Amino acid sequence: MQKRKLGVLGLEVSALSLGCMGYSSDARQLRDRAQMIGLIRAAVERGVDFFDTAEVYGPFTNEEMVGEAIAPIRDQVIVATKFGWDVDAATGVHNGGVNSRPDHIRAAVEGSLKRLRVEQIDLLYQHRVDPDVPMEEVAGVVKELIQQGKVKYFGMSEASSDSIHRAHAVQPVSALQSEYSLWTREPETDILPTLEELGIGLVPFSPLGKGFLTGTIDVNTTLDSADFRNSIPRFSTEARTANQALVELIRAVGDRHGATPAQVALAWLLAKKPWIVPLFGTRKVERLDENLGALAVHLSADDIEELEQRSAEIGVQGERYPAQMLKLSGR
């Protein structure tokens, strides 16, 4: 497995990361727990050592599942989790907003340590920036947790360049998690230059466009009524029809390499910077193997230029999130 470094403090991880957020048909009951534990362990067998969860996934049940999965192989894995949503520590009720008050951060970390069955969280992200709490204060609390040995590295998610600079000045940030893919390229404007300047790694989530860039979803695909993507403007009938042109572009490049659209989308991210570690999710071993195959796809400079120029010409129709969620993005 290829390795990549995130930040300058020593965090080194597998070149691809497995996200665990979607590992349940029922967020609170986690009925597919055994299947997902098996998938995590299968990923470790294949060399993946970087796994992503959060207290809000469930809430809580996802961290518990990940904790069970890694318990016998703790020394082989690096686990990232997150605080920052207003989740009641006692009941697990998600109150909808953000919360990065110092006492809330400390309580969230204590809960995550127990659920993950670990003595130290490898990478702790602030899930979303809290406009009511200064970034310096948030970073200061994380710095204390690092000094106490409860956290090893500090990360942020969907944060603006200004927020990153302010936090990094107090406690060095090792990684930023943000949406970035061939159909979400906004980070190229100011986020990537900021990360390059400060020596921070990028862990792009939704690198496959929530499944759309894999080529397995089109205008005729019927999503389950409970599927979150039904609320995303980019998945409307009109948007899916228009955005199909981007998938066909990716497919055409893949055909030249004997690669699937998913592998090309991941290979493009891997080729952008040596400090980018794409974070994908899957529920199936065959998809895990397909995505890991992206590591063997080597796009040429001409391939990359074609993907970037033509995708810009095609454009993408529809916002990446519903309006209310976009308001909570720190960008």
**Does 195 fall in a domain?**
yes
CA atoms within 13 A on the CB side of 49: 18
Please state at what angle helix 237-257 crosses helix 301-314, rounded to 10 degrees: 170
Query: Residue length, the chain?
Result: 331
**Does 243 fall in a domain?**
no
Residues 6+ apart with CB under 8 A from 117: 67, 68, 70, 71, 74
Residue 215, phi-psi category: left (phi > 0), alpha (psi -120 to 50), beta (remainder): left
Please tell me the predicted confidence (pLDDT) of residue 24.
Answer: 46
Residue 119 lies in domain: 3-208+265-297
Q: Which of 57, 125, 153, 180 is catalytic?
A: 57
Query: How does pLDDT run across 177-223, given as a tens digit for each residue?
Result: 999 999 999 999 999 999 999 999 999 999 999 999 999 999 999 98
Strand partners, 4: 13
Model confidence, pTM: 0.95
**Does 28 fall in a domain?**
yes
**Alpha helices in the chain, H assignment, sequence order:** 33-45, 61-70, 102-116, 135-147, 161-168, 187-198, 237-257, 261-272, 285-292, 301-314, 323-327
- Beta carbons of 211 and 224 less than 8 angstroms apart: no
- Beta carbons of 1 and 293 less than 8 angstroms apart: no
Please tell me the predicted confidence (pLDDT) of residue 25.
Answer: 45
Residue 124: which CATH number?
A: 3.20.20.100
Strand partners, 123: 80, 153
- CB atoms under 10 Å from CB of 9, counted, come to 14
Q: Which two tokens stand for residue 326?
A: 């976009």
**Does 238 fall in a domain?**
no
**Does 213 fall in a domain?**
no
Below-70 pLDDT ranges, the chain: 22-31, 328-331
**Does 220 fall in a domain?**
no
**Does 327 fall in a domain?**
no
Please tell me the predicted confidence (pLDDT) of residue 28.
Answer: 58
Please tell me the predicted confidence (pLDDT) of residue 331.
Answer: 52
User: Is-catalytic flag, 57?
Assistant: yes
Give the position of tokens 């204060």: 137
**Maximum Cα–Cα distance across the chain:** 54
**Does 27 fall in a domain?**
yes
Domain count of the fold of the chain: 1
